[in-house]
Structure 1
Amino acid sequence: MIFFGQLLANGLMLGAIYALAAVAYTLVYGVVRLINFAFGELFMFGAFLTITLMLPSARLFGFDVPMPALSVFLAAPIAIVCVVLMGVAIERIAYRPLRTAPRLAPLITAIAVSVLLQSLAQTIWGPEELGLPESAVGADTPIVLFGGVYVSLVELIVVAVAVVTMIGLTLLVYQTRFGRAMRATASDTDASYIVGIPVNRVIALTFAIGSGLAALAGILYCLAYGFAHPTMGFLPGLKALIAAVLGGIGSIPGAALGGVLLALVETFGAGYLPSGSAYKDAIGFAILVLLLFFRPQGILGRPELNETSDGSLMGGRQGGKVTAFVDRLAAIADRVLPSPTHRNALLLVAAVAVMFLPISDYWLRVVIVALIYGMLASGLNIVVGFAGLLDLGYVAFWSVGAYFSSILFVLVLKNSYGIDPATAWWLFYVNLVAGGLLAGLFGAFVGYPTLRLRGDYLAIMTLGFGEMIRIVTTNWVGLTRGPMGIRGIPNPSLFGFSLDRPRSLGLLAIALCALILVIASRLVRSYVGRAWVAIRDNETAAEAMAIDTRRYKLLAYSTGGLIGGMTGVFFAHFQQYISPFNFTLFDNILLLMLIVLGGLGTFVGPFVGAFIWVTFLQVAQEWPIVQAFPESRYAMLGLILIGLMLYRPQGIAARARPSLVMA
């Protein structure tokens, strides 16, 4: 009973933090229908700024800087005000111009802002943890409740602050004039404009409140666990998003309820289930998937929120010097290479020519990495760019192919049966097909529960699936070797000749690219591709035209999985080592950014985006600012993507998008 009570106390403390962050998510989503992924970073900035202000000196940008050494009761309000100003600035600069843009533009912008802020934090404070000063909130002597349940003063403060804050927020939303304006804006923005509500001001204040709540949750988390870290907002941010969906995104009481329920389920699961502590994060994602499958609107949510505007990121802003310049270059390319087939062929010929240039093995491997990311982005492009399905768990397909071939070659043939992989060289080519088919089957399995979902809810469920696969591969040590990864994966061979040189590996990668482009182009230019485009542009109209949307959605997931699995097999043998850290949510976000950068719904766009990004990473290494602050490269990527969404959301190679209509 004492153990149960201790778990209950721990769960309530964690639930208070989740609830605050979930309310921050749901407040903004309820008004502007935006999943602000940057809330995890605002959470982190709140903790960092508080600790920094409490220290006598801090190391910022690599220099020791004197600090005021304030008490937590002064440092926390100052940090919250700073984060509120950050949130308002982000809304004004990055989100407001995209308020009426196609639905992917704000999502990509939110992800780009998240990458920018996380990279900025690592540039300012470095990648190390920043510890909370001792006795930050007074005595550390635990308080004993009910004869054996221990709680600290910090835990009591966390719960009390969270409860008071949420009561005050509820009164603000439901009992004040501003709250009525906020609810009216959430209900109908256009009607709110007509009756004289200052919508822009209401939305800015909503972002300010949400940012302040995120900062407060980060400060409480920091007080409870005693540290701040640049990536500390990632997992709590995801958990807050799960909590908001669990309770009903858009509902403040629902978000608070979801936060508490999620924390309690995780805490008791970790305490009572076998290996519960290892899989406690997966428990939250499993609950998310089950809830979205049976009740997409959540416990207290509204069913109409599981809807989305028609169309993907196919249009966007036009005009401006940047757009005009890129369009001029694209028009020249159209005259020289009017056929998309010619463009694809030119891309492959150029890649083959690079393999025979007198360049170093290092740069040849860089080209291969770009080709791998281009292939992966092409698979994701099938799902997102052509079928219009927001997928944040695509890396799961990549990992299925990579682990399938690695386990078979290393753990089964070599370790279990003592067979030299060189004698079974042909198995690599069998695995390309088998690994792709297995990932394609997994794609259909993952896609089935998402068929009832649209828009942001679809993205949230796929995110949950992707994170569950990562957690399983991290903890299933007997099969995947867990965080240690699988080493000694052999290079591909051909008739007994090892393809271990960069040029031979590069030519094999180009052949795989050609195969993937053929698969993609054949499908997209068939009736299947036209059905995908119809679903992407208007799913309701597609259903009215007797298109079996469920069937074609599953086919899109399977095709994307097939390409991801095949690429995963090649990736494993190229790297000769894989681990769960190769297949994270950030990698999925990066792939999504690459296809947006190059051009959604194009064949050449994923490769354009991949080559630009990989080349930028290498060239930027020579810049003094990057040498001093390596993470600044990712901050630059965030800035580039924000600018792209504002001025050319259709991507660099948008004019290469095939024109497809139903016959």
Structure 2
Amino acid sequence: MLYFEQLLINGLMLGSVYALAAVAYTLVYGVVKLVNFAFGELFMLGAFVTLSLMAPEVSLLGHVVPMPGWSFYAAAPAAIVAVGVLGALIDRVAYRPLRNAPRLAPLITSIAVSVLLQSLAQTVWGPGSLRFPDTPLSHIPALHLGQVSISGSNLVVILAALVGMVGLQLFVYYSSLGRAMRAAAQDSTAAYLVGIPVNRIIGSAFVLGSAFAAVAGILYAQAFQFASPTMGFTPGLKALTAAVLGGIGSIPGAAVGGLFLGLAESLCAGFLPNGAVYQDALSFILLVLLLLVRPQGLLGKKELNVHARGSLITAKPRGRLSILGAPLQLMDAFFGSRFFDSAAFKLLALVCAIAAGLAVRSDYWLSIMVVVLIYGMLASGLNIVVGFAGLLDLGFVAFWAVGSYFTSIVFIDVLKKHFGIDVDSVWWLLYANLIIGGGFAALCGAILGYPTLRVRGDYLAIMTLGFGEIIRVVATNWVSLTNGPMGIRGIPSPSMFGHELDDARSLYFFALALTVVLLFCIGQVVRSFVGRAWVALREDEDAAQAMGIPGTRYKLLAYACSGFVGGVVGVFYAHFQQYISPASFSLFENILILMLIVLGGLGTMIGPFIGAAIWIGFLQVSLKVPFVSSYPESRYILLGAMLIALMLFRPSGVAAKARLRLVME
């Protein structure tokens, strides 16, 4: 029993951190209906700013800089205020211009802000972890309840969470500012008409939410005695999960969800076989199971689980910088030509791609071109669900992983290790695996897609995110099958008639041929009745179903088609890399693929490849910049800034005018 009681205490401490961060999510979501992925980075910045202010000196940008060396009681409040002000600044610069934008634009912007802040922290403080200094909280005597001991620092975390959440709930319901927040959350237009300064109120919500994220980060850092630029990623995901479990938008729900999640993880780690390694997956499994039964969460409102009408991105930006006006008009005129939808353009594009493969002499650049094709194909697969069917999927990398692991296990674990077969002698299995692996991923897509049919909007995105993370955690810890974090090595190169295609030029043409086949298949599907049904569901699901389009069938078909493309590309990717590991299939990769679609243009055939070419080319060219070559992480600062600018001034993407004519404008 003592063991169980100690697990409860540990779970309460961890759940309190999750609850505080979940409150940060839910406070902003309740007012502005925005899932702010940047709160994980604000969580991290709270710890880093506190650490820096307490130290006598700290290394910034590789240079030792004197610091004030304040006490914890001075540094922590200053860090909380600084992060709160930063939250308000982010809202003013990045989110406020997108108040009435299509629903994907603020989400992509929040992801871009998250990437920017994390990369900025890696550039300034370095990519490694720093030891968090001792604080007076570490020396508080432990509390003994019988044979159970609660350390002083854990007790502070629990009490701080309790005081903070109760105080915030009282503030929201009994202060004038809190009542204004609730009015703006219920109907921002009506609140504005009765004299409530809505933008100022939303800014205040960002200040409070960011401050709570900073408090959670400081408590987490002092409890675990470290700070790192990526420390906010996992707690941020857990806090978002907790907010959804409790009912995002509900402060008591966030508290209940955080505590429930922390206790579940602690008990899982303590009692289940290998529970400690699978506890990260447990939170997402609980999320999926709960949303199946109660899609709005424990204390959430049913009206939050709704499908917003209209495309993810169709509206025009509210304003443009005059300096960008002419280039954007030229892009519209260029991509708006019907030539991009003609057979002549497709033939010309194929001829140019072949000519490029023959003309480029550098194996390095040929390999870069293969990577562009791989990411273009992956983005095309995700584009089926997001761009055509209008379902925001953050778990697409699961299908990519399924295809990669399927062919790798068949060739290495089964044929080579178990049967002792020379894998080069069965080269033809690669082509069978392209179909079988794609079909297996398509089946997984339909199976994973089915539970999402009851959820809508942001709940859908978060549920699919959970599926992707479950697959990654399983791949990391099922060592007997996947070799865990070490990955699978020795995967044979693609072969044709027994001859290995192991040089860069051969791989490029193999990838090009695969791209042509997949694009032809995708084009045939989206131009058929199936594609038009997807667009109808995307534009107005209620109207589409009223006209007799069975939403369930076509949504599952979209997931299956997307999964098939992801699985096929995964098979080729494994043989191209000759090595795979769970690190290749992270949430960041899914976010990156989504960004490529948005960058190029949702619902277009050429957009994913334009986005991939811009991104991969940008990575290579940026290394020529002296500052970037010295601080490689700064490339992602530029990426984040570029995506924020894109959402502000060109939310529909570079090649938006190249959308298929079946798209309703």
Report the TM range for the smaller structure's normalisation.
over 0.9
Whole-angstrom distance in 2 between the partners of 1:23 and 1:338: 47
1:274 corresponding residue in structure 2? 273
Query: How far off its partner does 1:298 sit?
Result: 0.8
What SS does the corresponding residue of 1:150 show, helix, strand or coil? strand
For residue 285 of structure 1, what is the aligned residue in structure 2? 284
Contact 1:140 1:152 in 2 (8 A): no
Partner of 1:364: 366
Q: Deviations over 1:125-146 (max 9, x none)?
A: 0001011123x12554762523
C-alpha displacement of 1:309: 2.2
Letter in 2 for 1:244: A
Check the 8 A contact 1:20/1:162 in 2, yes or no. yes
For 1:445, the aligned partner's letter is I
Q: Distance between the aligned counterparts of 1:53 and 1:404, measured in 2?
A: 50
Does residue 175 of the first structure (1) align with residue 177 of the second (2)?
no
Cα pair 1:399 1:565 within 8 Å, conserved: yes
Q: How do 1:154-165 and structure 2 match up within 5 A?
A: 154-165=153-164
Partner of 1:346: 348
Q: Give the alignment of 1:181-196 within 5 angstroms.
A: 181-196=180-195
- The whole-number CA distance in structure 1 between the counterparts of 2:126 and 2:655 is 36
Corresponding residue of 2:79:
79
- Give yes or no for contact 2:487–2:580 (8 Å, CA) kept in 1: yes
Deviations 1:526-554 (A, max 9, x none): 00000000011111111111100110000
Residue 101 of structure 1 aligns to a residue whose secondary structure is: coil
User: In structure 2, what is the Cα distance between the partners aligned to 1:254 and 1:332?
Assistant: 50
Distance in 1 (alpha carbons) for counterparts of 2:159 and 2:4: 21
Q: Is the 8 A contact 1:344 1:604 kept in 2?
A: no
- Give the Cα–Cα distance (whole angstroms) in 1 for the partners of residues 291 and 226 of structure 2: 34
Aligned ranges for residues 242-391 of structure 1 at < 5 Å? 242-311=241-310, 312-317=312-317, 320=320, 321=322, 322-332=324-334, 334-335=336-337, 337-391=339-393
Cα shift readout 1:225-258 (whole Å, capped 9, x = no counterpart): 0111101000100110111111111110111011
| Secondary structure at the counterpart of residue 163 of structure 2 | helix
Opposite residue 581 of structure 2, the aligned amino acid is: S
In 2: Cα distance, 1:346 partner to 1:244 partner? 50
Per the TM alignment, residue 353 of structure 1 is displaced from its structure 2 partner at its CA by 1.4
| 1:482-531 Cα shifts (integer Å, max 9, x gaps) | 00000000001100111001111100100000011011100000000000
**Distance (whole Å) between structure 2 residues aligned to residue 657 and residue 138 of structure 1:** 58
Once the two structures are superposed, the pairs formed by residues 498-537 of structure 1 within 5 Å of their partners are 498-537=500-539
Matching residue's letter, 2:499: F
Q: So what's the TM-score if we normalise by structure 2?
A: 0.98
Q: In structure 2, what is the Cα distance between the partners aligned to 1:577 and 1:326?
A: 41
Deviation track 1:542-598 (CA, whole Å, cap 9, x = no partner) reads: 111110011000000000000000000000000000000000000000000000000
In structure 2, C-alpha distance between the alignment counterparts of 1:265 and 1:31, rounded to whole Å: 29
Contact 2:337–2:658 under 8 Å retained in 1:
no
Which residue of the partner structure matches residue 142 of structure 2? 143
The Cα shift of 1:177 comes to: 1.0
> How much does 1:315 deviate?
2.5
Q: Which amino acid aligns with 2:284?
A: F
Distance 1:426 1:450, change over 3 A: same
Q: Counterpart of 2:235?
A: 236
| Separation of aligned partners in 2, 1:344 and 1:292 | 44
The answer to whether the 8 Å contact 1:314/1:600 transfers is no
In the superposition, the TM-score normalised over structure 1's length comes to 0.98
Indicate the residue corresponding to 1:437 in structure 2: 439
Partners of 2:18 and 2:242 within 8 A in 1: yes
Q: Distance in 2 between matches of 1:271 and 1:86?
A: 39
Residue segments in structure 2 that go unaligned for 5+ positions in a row = none
Alpha-carbon shift at residue 344 of structure 1 (Å)? 3.6
Q: Is the 8 A contact 2:443 2:560 kept in 1?
A: yes
Q: Higher mean Cα deviation, 307-316 or 341-350?
A: 341-350
SS at match of 1:635: helix
- Write out aligned runs for 1:412-561 (5 A): 412-561=414-563
Higher mean C-alpha deviation, range 304-313 or range 576-585: 304-313
Question: Following the alignment from structure 2 to structure 1, what is the Cα–Cα distance between the partners of residues 360 and 3?
Answer: 67
- CA-atom RMSD, angstroms? 1.3
| 2:350 match: secondary structure | helix
**Counterpart residue identity of residue 328, structure 2:** V
Greater shift after overlay, 337-346 or 492-501? Answer: 337-346
Report percent identity of matched pairs: 61
Distance 1:142 1:492, change over 3 A: farther
Q: Is the 8 A contact 1:340 1:656 kept in 2?
A: no
In 2, Cα distance between equivalents of 1:456 and 1:559: 22
Q: Gaps (5+ residues) in structure 1? A: none
Report if the CA contact (8 A) 1:142-1:150 is conserved: no
Distance 1:162 1:23 in 2: 10
**Structure 1: distance between partners of 2:425 and 2:447:** 34
Match of 2:641 among 639, 642, 661: 639
